[in-house]
Amino acid sequence: ESMEIDDRRCDWVQKLCYGMGHVYNDLCAAMWFSYTLFYLQIVLQMDSKTAGTLIMTGQIVDSLATPVVGWAVDRTGARRAWHLAGTLAASVGFSLIYCLKPTSLNTQIVINYGLVISLFQIGWAVTQISHLSIIPEIATSHAHTSDLTAIRYMASRLFTTLTLIYIPLYLDERRAGSEVSVHRRKCVHTFMKTSCRMYVVLYH
């Protein structure tokens, strides 16, 4: 009986650790959709057309990368390696979005930020697909599959909500550009440190 209890406990630990494996992606997505347009227009003083083009570029890259990544992950089967590589790519791309210094040339801005945003979106797609594809490998029943999916979704909603609460409290649109620049770096670093620790310790 004690062995059955230990097995159940280990089973739930595995489920919770799996649920934390997508937290970093969720934090990045929340920042991307809620703050990036504000950052490009208010902090970097980009015109709305350029900022909108960059956001749309990211979404197009994501839509194209997702099926390609799904095919590649299925072909190779190295899901955890793909997950780690995707997280690293998303981390580099996401941090550079908020650290690059814009140039005076509009075309150069679009190229630089387009490349960085593309790296982030490809990494995001790799992490998402590889994380989802692990479910059939570790699930032992339909109930197990439902539990893993539910915990993953719960963690996603929880950290997305916390992000959307945190950002408005941390940033103030009335601040001067340089002060916003300092605060947004702190904001990004906070998210990256928190989520990466969860990812490394709990998932891998």
Q: What's 144's DSSP letter? A: H
When pLDDT is averaged across residues 8-20 and rounded to a whole number, the result is: 73
Which has the closest alpha carbon to 36: 90, 113, 140, 103?
113
71-106 residues labelled b (16+ CB within 10 A) or e (exposed) = eebeeeeebeebbbebbebbbebbbbbbeeebeeee
As a whole number of angstroms, the distance between CA 144 and CA 19 comes to 13
pLDDT digits (tens, 9 = 90+) for 19-61: 888 888 888 888 888 888 888 888 888 888 889 999 999 999 9
pTM of the model: 0.79
Q: In the numeric block, which tokens belong to residue 16?
A: 């919770």
CATH architecture of 19-203: Up-down Bundle (1.20)
Q: Is 105 left (phi over 0), alpha (psi -120 to 50) or beta?
A: beta
The gap between the terminal CA atoms of the chain, to the nearest Å, is 30
Residue ranges of domains in the chain: 19-203
In which residue are the tokens 């998402």 written? 128
What local confidence, expressed as pLDDT, does residue 159 receive? 79
pLDDT digits (tens, 9 = 90+) for 109-142: 888 899 999 999 999 999 999 998 888 888 888 8
